[in-house]
Chain A
Amino acid sequence: MRNPVGWAALTAFSLAFFAFIYAPLFVIIGYSFNSNPVNMMIWEHFTFDWYTGLLGLSDRTTDVSNRAAYVESTDQMLAALRTSLTVALFTTTISTVIGTATAIALARYRFRMRGFYNGFLMLPMMMPDIVLGIGLLIFFVTIGMKLSMLTIIIGHCTFLTSYVFIIVQARIAGIDPALEEASADLGASEWVTLRKVLLPQLTPGILGGALLAFVISMDDLVITYFISGTGDTTLPVFIFGMIRRGVKPEINAIATLIILASVVIAALGLWLRSRKTD
């Protein structure tokens, strides 16, 4: 028998839980449409100005007297976005290939110190970002490598490989090794077995890992902050820089656009997953 009081309490708790998680996001989305340039907490009226301003379609900015603000909000932001996307694309590709190959090697081949490698691959994930960031910075300086987009890509790959590895490894653990044996038994070489049996079976895991790597790379602030050069700023670092000079309405608009992009990517991921498991 269902206890009505308990049930109501549970429902209320669940609603409060979701409100707690999503309220900040909705606040940002709401503020991004508020036309008040000085205090975003006081509602003036609905506007798309911050979006059009961001995209360089109108010249209304928070600092009308200073046209430099437009440059900062638009060109620099777009450059930062481009840097972020480029970095995310490269790191996703590299870490997905290495992470997947490592997961297959550790799951399917027997060699010395397998357990040790397994643990060692998890380590970058557990490491505090700030330690990893400082470590990478000192390393790049020591070997005399100029900070640039390349150092960001290398830095991201060091820990994103671990993420991809863990996700692909979880998937591979659920695959019956007899599948690969059956393929070999039916005349397929190791390469053909990899291509026709193992990789198709791993696809959902690989896609999931790649998607996660992409999102984390796009999102990373702490590590990137240490290893990005003056010329190549990623979007999170750029936003962080803007916030230090006060939270401007444009930031709400950027955040809203990022939320939108994340939702689209997540939906795409879920759709890909459901398609694979039919």
Chain B
Amino acid sequence: MSALLEIRDARRTFVTPEGGRLAALDGVSLDVSANEFVTLLGPSGCGKTTLLRAISGFETLDSGTMRLGGADLTGLPPFRRPVNTVFQSYALFGHMTVARNVGYALEVAGVAKAAREAEVAEALEKVGLAGLGARKPGQLSGGQRQRVALARAIIAKPQLLLLDEPLSALDRNLRQQMQLELKTLQHSLGIAFIFVTHDQEEALTMSDRIVVMRAGQIEQIGTPRDIYRHPKNRFVAEFIGETNLMPVTIDRVDGSEALARTAEGVELRLPASGRKPGEQVTAVLRPADFTLGASGIPATVSRAVYLGSDLYVFVQPKAGGPELRVIARDTAGVEAGATVHLSHDPARVHVLEAA
């Protein structure tokens, strides 16, 4: 199946106020399929917004190509591109009613008023704002404005919807609710979403695929599980979720398992997969990969944070070295100063090549 959106070697350099050159996009290639939910994830300044703006046409590329449904987008102004955007600030037209905001794309395209009204009502219905068409945006709550922006962007049935951190202004509960709703909406509309965020939790919740970006380059593309369980490098491992990164040296290989040691002598078991003794690698363990039990790495609890059903525990291995972060079931006796033993399933340990 050919991709809906094909980006090949996109490059864009900005001149900084100091006269330096900043590569916002440094050779980005990406395919997005029809009906796919792709998230561009990265710290601020990684180029994710520039990439989004290049797709919508507000930013031009220095080099590289972009094709949508097989058609070249180069040189096409924003108003001729069959993509729509949900802006971070929502960008609602304050002097128009909600209904006129939502129907703006049809109004501009010259659709007759009667036909427009039916579609506006339908779009408002889809985002759960039926009956609020006569209001002005200023009379709506933040969450409602967000929905108006969404309805306005989907009314023209674009092949691709771009969302620029649209949930960042909402409070946590509303954000989580909108995450699920967006995902549902995307499925029912059957159009591709490209969603920009710096919130890794948001990315993990909604995406079919996550594109992790840094300094204008793509670090890794994969499903949320892929990215979380098998980060390609330190940056991805640290950016997505809490991580324990442990530089270790392979001690010996025992069939399918290898025994490795940190410089301080903390012992870890990891998948053998062709490792040789003496090799230096980095073991990646998520906090939930450790279990607290009767045997394993002896460690002292330095701090335990109560999370409800779980405990978030900071432990200091007795052998020394950096603190480890562990998520464990809430157990009596796990408190600052207590001695615990950490065990882990070797199969859950992800290994990065470089130490």
Report A's interface with B, CB cutoff 8 A.
176, 178-179, 181-189, 192, 196-197, 200-201
Within 8 Å of chain A (Cβ to Cβ): is B262?
A: no
Identify the closest chain A residue to B53 (Cβ): A181
CB distance from A155 to the nearest CB of B (A): 36
Identify the closest chain A residue to B103 (Cβ): A186
With A187-B79, A187-B105 as contacts: A182 and B87 at CB distance below 8 Å: yes
Within 8 Å of chain A (Cβ to Cβ): is B21?
A: no
Within 8 Å of chain A (Cβ to Cβ): is B58?
A: yes
Q: How large is the interface on B (under 10, 10 to 19, 20 to 34, 35 or more residues)?
A: 20 to 34
Cα distance A189–B79 in the bound complex, in angstroms: 6
With A178-B87, A178-B89, A181-B78 as contacts: A186 and B152 at CB distance below 8 Å: yes
**Interface segment, B91-99, B183-191, B204-212, B325-333?**
B91-99
Contact with B84, one of A178, A186, A189, A197 (Cβ below 8 angstroms):
A186
**Residues in chain A near residue B156, CB distance under 8 A:** 186-187
11 A-B interface contacts by CB (under 8 A): A178-B91, A181-B58, A181-B78, A181-B91, A182-B92, A182-B152, A184-B77, A185-B153, A197-B93, A200-B93, A200-B95
Q: Mark B49-62, 1 if CB is under 8 A from A, else 0.
A: 00000001110000
Q: Ordered nearest first, which 9 A-B pairs have the shortest CB separation?
A: A182-B91, A178-B91, A186-B105, A184-B78, A188-B108, A200-B95, A185-B85, A184-B79, A187-B108
Q: By the criterion CB–CB under 8 Å, are A181 and B94 in contact?
A: no
Contact with B91, one of A176, A189, A192, A196 (Cβ below 8 angstroms):
A176
**Residues in chain A near residue B92, CB distance under 8 A:** 182
Cα distance A267–B58 in the bound complex, in angstroms: 42
**Residues in chain A near residue B89, CB distance under 8 A:** 176, 178
Within 8 Å of chain A (Cβ to Cβ): is B109?
A: yes
Cα distance A187–B152 in the bound complex, in angstroms: 12
**Residues in chain B near residue A185, CB distance under 8 A:** 56, 78-79, 83-85, 153
Contact with B108, one of A179, A181, A192 (Cβ below 8 angstroms):
A192
Cα distance A197–B83 in the bound complex, in angstroms: 20
Contact with B109, one of A179, A182, A183, A187 (Cβ below 8 angstroms):
A187
Q: By the criterion CB–CB under 8 Å, are B94 and A201 in contact?
A: yes
CB distance from B50 to the nearest CB of A (A): 14
Within 8 Å of chain A (Cβ to Cβ): is B104?
A: yes
Identify the closest chain B residue to A175 (Cβ): B94
List 15 other contacts, CB 8 Å, given A176-B89, A181-B91, A183-B93. Answer: A178-B88, A178-B91, A181-B78, A181-B85, A182-B87, A182-B91, A182-B92, A183-B104, A184-B78, A185-B79, A186-B105, A187-B109, A189-B79, A192-B108, A201-B93
Q: By the criterion CB–CB under 8 Å, are A182 and B85 in contact?
A: yes
**Residues in chain B near residue A179, CB distance under 8 A:** 91, 93
Cα distance A187–B106 in the bound complex, in angstroms: 9
Chain B, 98-118, CB within 8 A of any chain A CB: 104-105, 107-109
Identify the closest chain B residue to A177 (Cβ): B91
CB distance from B68 to the nearest CB of A (A): 14
**Residues in chain A near residue B78, CB distance under 8 A:** 181, 184-185
**Residues in chain B near residue A197, CB distance under 8 A:** 93
Cα distance A183–B152 in the bound complex, in angstroms: 10
CB distance from A171 to the nearest CB of B (A): 13
CB distance from B99 to the nearest CB of A (A): 14
**Residues in chain A near residue B91, CB distance under 8 A:** 176, 178-179, 181-182
**Residues in chain B near residue A188, CB distance under 8 A:** 79, 104, 108
Cα distance A186–B92 in the bound complex, in angstroms: 12
Cα distance A182–B88 in the bound complex, in angstroms: 11
**Residues in chain A near residue B104, CB distance under 8 A:** 183, 186, 188, 196
CB distance from A128 to the nearest CB of B (A): 37
Cα distance A272–B91 in the bound complex, in angstroms: 24
Cα distance A196–B105 in the bound complex, in angstroms: 12
Cα distance A192–B108 in the bound complex, in angstroms: 8
CB distance from A183 to the nearest CB of B (A): 7
**Residues in chain B near residue A200, CB distance under 8 A:** 93, 95
Identify the closest chain B residue to A189 (Cβ): B79
Identify the closest chain B residue to A193 (Cβ): B79
Q: Mark B218-245, 1 if CB is under 8 A from A, else 0.
A: 0000000000000000000000000000
CB distance from B120 to the nearest CB of A (A): 13
Identify the closest chain B residue to A186 (Cβ): B105
**Residues in chain A near residue B108, CB distance under 8 A:** 183, 186-188, 192, 196
Chain B, 126-161, CB within 8 A of any chain A CB: 152-153, 156
